[in-house]
Structures are given as C-alpha cells and as structure tokens.
C-alpha cells in the first residue's frame, strides 16, 4: 500500500458507520465518491466567513468570494495542465458540460449531412445530447464498436473518419467496462484530419493524471462529485480557439458585455459560458478536493487503485460462475460482473444487506448493455480509501448470493 490507509480513511467521516449492523463498505465510487473532511470544512468556512454573490460587488465580501472563485479556476487549470485559465468553464457537472458542447458546437459547426463519431460505450450523457443534436441538424451519428475485452475497435474508428466528420466524442474511461481508451492515439489521428476531439473525463480525472496540453484534446468534461468534491460542480475545458467561436449556451446575467433593446454583446471567456449565479460554495469544495488529490498525488492514486483492481480481479475470478465485462489490460478500478445467471438487482440487494454498496443495472449506458446482450451488471468501483479486506468481504458476499440461489 502506497498510502497510510488509516490516516486516509480518517479523513472521510461517512465511511465510519455501520449499515445493517455491519461496517459500511463503499464500492459505488464510479457513481459518486465520498468527501474528505477538508472539502466539508471548505464549504463550512465559506458560509461562515465568505459567502456572497461574486463578480458583481465592490464590497469586501463580494471581492473576497470572487477572488477565491477565480483562484479555484487557476488551481483547476494547474491540476489538468490547461494552457489558459479562461479555458476552464465551471458547470454543474459532466452532463451540463457535454450538453453545452453538443448544443453550441452543433449550432456553430454541424450541418445537414455532417457526421459525428462516438462509441458504443458512452454514458447517456455523452450519447443522447449528440444523438438529439444530430437528429435536429440532420447529421449522422456514427458509433464505434468494441471487442470481447471491452476495447474500442480502433481500426473501425479510423475507417469512419472522412471529409464529413466534424467531431469525435468519446469517454476517456468507461464507467461500465473500466477501459481506459487510447485517447492519445485517437486525438493524434483525428488532428491529422483536422477533426477536434471531445473527451468525457467523468471517470478519468479522479483515477489517473490528466494533462490537457499533453493529451491535446479539444474539449474535456468532468464532474466534481466523482472526484471527492461537492455535487453540482463540474468543469468544461475547451481550447480557446473553439470556445471563442462557439455561441453561448445559456443566456442571462454575467455572460453579457452590454445589453441593448435590440441586441446583446457577450462577455469574454470564460464568463460567456457562465450565465447566472454559480455554485460558489461547490467550487470552494472542488478547490479543496483538488488540493487533497494533489497532495496525495494522482500517480500514487492511480497505482493504489490499480493494486485494488488487481487484487479484486484475482479474488473474484477465483469464484466459479463469475462473468466479467471489461477485461482490458488498460483499466481503471471498475469491475462489472454477473454471478452466473442471477439477475444483477437480486445480487445487488443481497450484497447491500451485507453492508456493501455496489451499483446494479445499466449504469446509464443502455446502448452498451444492449450490445452485450445482458440485463445489466453488478459494478464495484474502488477508490484509494478502499481496502483489500473490503474486497474480501465482497467475495464473501458473492459466495452468499450464490448459496442463496443454489
């Protein structure tokens, strides 16, 4: 173990409780991570000392809150190594970031007959906005498939690229299969053809180090609540050249420069995309989460979670009748499985009664689940605060499920 696990777990108050008279095991981290005391304290500190609407006031509290909010933007730029601070747009989550790009990019760049490439492994948040935008604009959404290990068919993707392709949009890491996609190779190939690439980083940014300048992606989206920060926070990173060109997504206060009776001029980046009063409290928490992750080190986190993934894969593979979905060697700490023919909901309910939180169902990826021809999966997703002993308890719970259905 890279970290002092007791010390880390002491930072997460919610983990120290009994569920059904058993110590809670939280393996639903891909849905949302728990929050360290440092994040909770940052929110309390904000409301007890600094709360005020930002960007609009000349008085002390307003200036203080504005400065803290803009400091947070700088720290997030640094965390993902974006080139410019104004390329960081605060949103309420990955879903809003993805809708923003689909809507604004669609209006600006997509016309009748154009094509957008995505993949079968997308979360609905990076699928439905593009599907609907393509329907509205009479464009074609092309969908890249996967192989038996849950890896993208790269050649198929490359073959799809043509002079009508306007964008490639795909997940960095699959929330169901755990696959870490070869995004660098895809981006390089796309750029050879002058095609921009959007990455849905909702499952990427909390598990592996990400570097916008190294990846050279054109857009990157993520949610705060999956990276130990509050719900209702998120980020859209976009390259300046695209953000400058895109029309605003929402209209109202803060995103304007001047409003006349018959027309309006828009604010500069990033404010053009931040209409209305933002979630300042949440961004204070996001800032604290980024500081927490930075102190641990994203490479250490990736290595620690990889150890947990390897241990769990070996442990659960030893149980007869287990079927795994997503077996790529390039995987984040997510295991999707079925126990023989037992329905995932039945399995999930029994596992829950043993004090273990796993997720069951289609994980907001119906096209993928349909493609796999299964009713859904049970998904265990690990964070650096999880332990090998907790994985042992999951293995015991799976044996119990098997016993009950024998």
Residues contributing to the site for ligand PMP (CB under 6 A): 93-95, 123, 125-126, 171, 175, 200, 202-203, 223, 225, 364
| DSSP letters spanning 153-183 | -HHHHHHH--TTEEEEEEESB-TTT-BB--H
Which residue is catalytic, options 217, 221, 304, 364? 364
Beta strands in 254-303 (DSSP E): 256-259, 264-266
Q: How far is the CB of 23 from ligand PMP (least distance, A)?
A: 26
Task: Give the nearer residue to ligand PMP in terms of CB position, either 200 or 305.
Answer: 200
Q: How far is the CB of 171 from ligand PMP (least distance, A)?
A: 5
Q: What is the largest distance, in Å, between two alpha-carbon atoms of the chain?
A: 73
Kindly provide the b/e burial profile for residues 223-259, where b requires at least 16 CB atoms within 10 angstroms of the residue's own CB.
bbbbbbbbbbbbbbbbbeebbeebebbeeeebbbeee
Task: Give the nearer residue to ligand PMP in terms of CB position, either 91 or 313.
Answer: 91
Q: Which of 171, 270, 167 is nearest to 226 (CA)?
A: 171
Torsion over CA: 170, 174, 177, 183 (sign): positive
Q: How far is the CB of 6 from ligand PMP (least distance, A)?
A: 29
Task: Give the nearer residue to ligand PMP in terms of CB position, either 33 or 223.
Answer: 223
Task: Give the nearer residue to ligand PMP in terms of CB position, either 383 or 401.
Answer: 383
Query: What are the phi and psi torsion angles at 88 (to 5°)?
Result: -100, 115
Catalytic, 217? Answer no
Residues 263 and 253 sit within 8 Å (Cβ to Cβ): no
Q: 3-state secondary structure string, 207-237?
A: CCCCCHHHHCCCEEEEEHHHHCCCCCCEEEE
Q: How far is the CB of 122 from ligand PMP (least distance, A)?
A: 7
Which strand (E) or helix (H) includes residue 63?
Answer: helix 60-80
Q: How far is the CB of 150 from ligand PMP (least distance, A)?
A: 14
Q: Which of 243, 232, 221, 227 is nearest to 123 (CA)?
A: 221
Q: How far is the CB of 151 from ligand PMP (least distance, A)?
A: 16
Paired with 360 in beta bridges are 378
CA distance 338 to 347: 8
Task: Give the nearer residue to ligand PMP in terms of CB position, either 92 or 164.
Answer: 92
Q: Which of 317, 400, 382, 405 is nearest to 25 (CA)?
A: 382
Task: Give the nearer residue to ligand PMP in terms of CB position, either 106 or 224.
Answer: 224
Task: Give the nearer residue to ligand PMP in terms of CB position, either 161 or 332.
Answer: 332
Q: How far is the CB of 207 from ligand PMP (least distance, A)?
A: 11
Collapsed DSSP state (helix, strand, coil) of residue 66: helix
Q: Name the CA dihedral angle for 131, 133, 134, 137, rounded to a multiple of 10 degrees.
A: 160
CA distance 251 to 232: 19
Paired with 361 in beta bridges are 377
Report, as residue numbers or ranges, the catalytic residues: 364
């Amino acid at each position: 173990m890279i970290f002092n696990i007791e010390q880390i777990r002491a930072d997460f108050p919610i983990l120290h409780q009994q569920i059904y008279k058993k110590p809670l095991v939280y393996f639903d981290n891909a849905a949302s991570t728990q929050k360290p005391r440092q994040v909770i304290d940052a929110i309390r500190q904000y409301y007890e000392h600094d709360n005020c609407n930002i960007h609009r006031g000349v008085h002390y509290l307003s200036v203080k809150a504005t400065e803290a909010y803009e400091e947070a933007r700088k720290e997030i730029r640094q965390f993902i190594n974006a080139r410019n601070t104004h390329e960081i747009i605060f949103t309420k989550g990955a879903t809003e970031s993805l809708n923003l790009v689909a809507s604004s990019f669609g209006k600006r760049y997509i016309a009748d007959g154009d094509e957008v490439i995505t993949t079968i492994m997308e979360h609905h948040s990076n699928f439905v906005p593009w599907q609907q935008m393509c329907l509205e604009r009479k464009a074609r959404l092309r969908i890249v498939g996967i192989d038996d290990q849950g890896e993208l068919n790269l050649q198929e993707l490359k073959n799809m690229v043509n002079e009508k392709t306007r964008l490639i949009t795909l997940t960095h890491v699959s929330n169901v299969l755990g696959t870490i996609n070869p995004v660098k190779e895809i981006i390089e190939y796309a750029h050879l053809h002058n095609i921009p690439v959007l990455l849905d980083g909702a499952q990427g940014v909390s598990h592996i180090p990400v570097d916008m300048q190294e990846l050279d992606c054109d857009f990157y989206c993520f949610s705060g609540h999956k990276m130990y920060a509050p719900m209702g926070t998120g980020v859209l990173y976009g390259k300046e050249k695209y953000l400058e060109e895109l029309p605003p997504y929402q209209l109202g206060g803060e995103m304007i420069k001047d409003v006349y009776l018959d027309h309006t001029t828009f604010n500069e980046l990033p404010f053009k995309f931040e209409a209305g009063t933002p979630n300042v409290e949440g961004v204070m928490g996001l800032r604290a989460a980024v500081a927490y992750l930075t102190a641990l080190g994203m490479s250490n986190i990736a290595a620690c979670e990889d150890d947990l993934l390897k241990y769990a894969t070996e442990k659960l593979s030893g149980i007869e009748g287990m079927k795994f979905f997503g077996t790529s060697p390039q995987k984040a700490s997510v295991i999707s499985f079925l126990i023989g023919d037992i329905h995932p909901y039945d399995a999930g309910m029994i596992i829950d009664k043993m004090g273990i939180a796993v997720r069951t169902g289609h994980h907001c990826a119906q096209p993928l689940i349909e493609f796999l021809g299964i009713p859904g999966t049970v998904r265990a997703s690990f964070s650096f605060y999880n332990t090998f002993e907790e994985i042992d308890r999951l293995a015991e719970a799976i044996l119990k499920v098997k016993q009950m259905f024998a």
